[in-house]
Chain A
């Protein structure tokens, strides 16, 4: 039951994600011929960790700021956040988490919704309706992300 508009949206989103992610991969390959860690930015990460971060970041960028979950990912992984961490140390992240919106609890959903909130980016401060909507969108984007990464991995190994 996907309308034509939704398919067009999802296609352009997939292509946007694929372009950003692939260019990030190429950038990684050209910049760092040695496999393994990169210590220039002050945080040592394995290449596969950087690829994973690039994947989530590329998808959030492809979605843009329209969605609460993508905004949460962008603020967590964006370059501004990285520079912030480097300058002021990890303590600065505590101030980012202080914003607490009073959620309205609807009975019966509490147990499962709590686990869902931890899985969906930005889910901690959403009301149950927004949480369910954001989850649906998040799942479709994640599935697209996985499909594109799968395609790339299959083509790389040929």
Chain B
């Protein structure tokens, strides 16, 4: 099996090697909190993609909920200046 490790970014690249895909999938795997904590070696590519979709959906949902919360808070808070400066200076 000849696998080319070409890192070309052409939009229609026809020869995508398995190694390349495995690399990217494992990189993605490291970002997912679910799989990272599970520490199982038997994680298939399909599983990683599935978990990725779930994770993205949950992040979108969190953004929705936080937007709701912020909209309520924005309406009620008067002294927001100090809070804003505080958050901006927080460097985690």
Q: Which residues of A are at the interface with B, using a C-beta cutoff of 8 A?
A: 1, 11, 15, 18-19, 22, 25-26, 28-29, 35, 46-49, 51-52, 55-56, 101-102, 104, 106, 108-109, 111-113, 115-116, 119-120, 125-130, 132-133, 135-136, 138-140, 142-143, 145-153, 155-158
Cα-based distance from A143 to B66 in the complex (angstroms):
13
Distance to closest chain B CB from A32 (angstroms)? 10
Closest chain B residue, CB of each to CB of A156: B73
The answer to whether A136 and B56 have CB atoms under 8 Å apart is no
Does B43 sit at the interface, judged by CB under 8 A?
no
**Could you pull out 19 A-B pairs where Cβ atoms are within 8 angstroms?**
A15-B88, A25-B70, A29-B80, A102-B12, A104-B12, A104-B14, A104-B16, A109-B49, A111-B46, A112-B46, A112-B53, A116-B52, A116-B56, A119-B57, A127-B16, A128-B16, A129-B16, A130-B9, A156-B77
8 Å CB contacts to A: which residues of B9-39?
9, 11-14, 16, 20-21, 24-25, 27-28, 30-32
The answer to whether A47 and B59 have CB atoms under 8 Å apart is no
Cα-based distance from A147 to B17 in the complex (angstroms):
36
Distance to closest chain A CB from B23 (angstroms)? 9
- Residue B59 contacts which of A18, A51, A143 (CB distance < 8 angstroms)? A143
- Residue A108 contacts which of B32, B46, B59, B62 (CB distance < 8 angstroms)? B46
Distance to closest chain A CB from B90 (angstroms)? 6
Q: A18-B87, A52-B67, A143-B59 are in contact. Are A153 and B73 (CB under 8 A)?
A: yes
The answer to whether A149 and B83 have CB atoms under 8 Å apart is no
The answer to whether B67 and A51 have CB atoms under 8 Å apart is yes
The answer to whether A19 and B67 have CB atoms under 8 Å apart is no
The answer to whether B88 and A18 have CB atoms under 8 Å apart is yes
Q: A104-B14, A136-B28 are in contact. Are A112 and B50 (CB under 8 A)?
A: yes
Which of A125, A140, A145 is packed against the most chain B CB atoms within 10 Å?
A145
How many residues of chain B have a CB within 8 Å of chain A? Answer: 48
Distance to closest chain A CB from B12 (angstroms)? 6
The answer to whether B49 and A116 have CB atoms under 8 Å apart is yes
- Chain A residues lying within 8 Å of B45, measured Cβ to Cβ, are 108-109
- Residue B24 contacts which of A11, A102, A136 (CB distance < 8 angstroms)? A136
Does B71 sit at the interface, judged by CB under 8 A?
yes
Cα-based distance from A110 to B62 in the complex (angstroms):
28
Cα-based distance from A145 to B90 in the complex (angstroms):
14
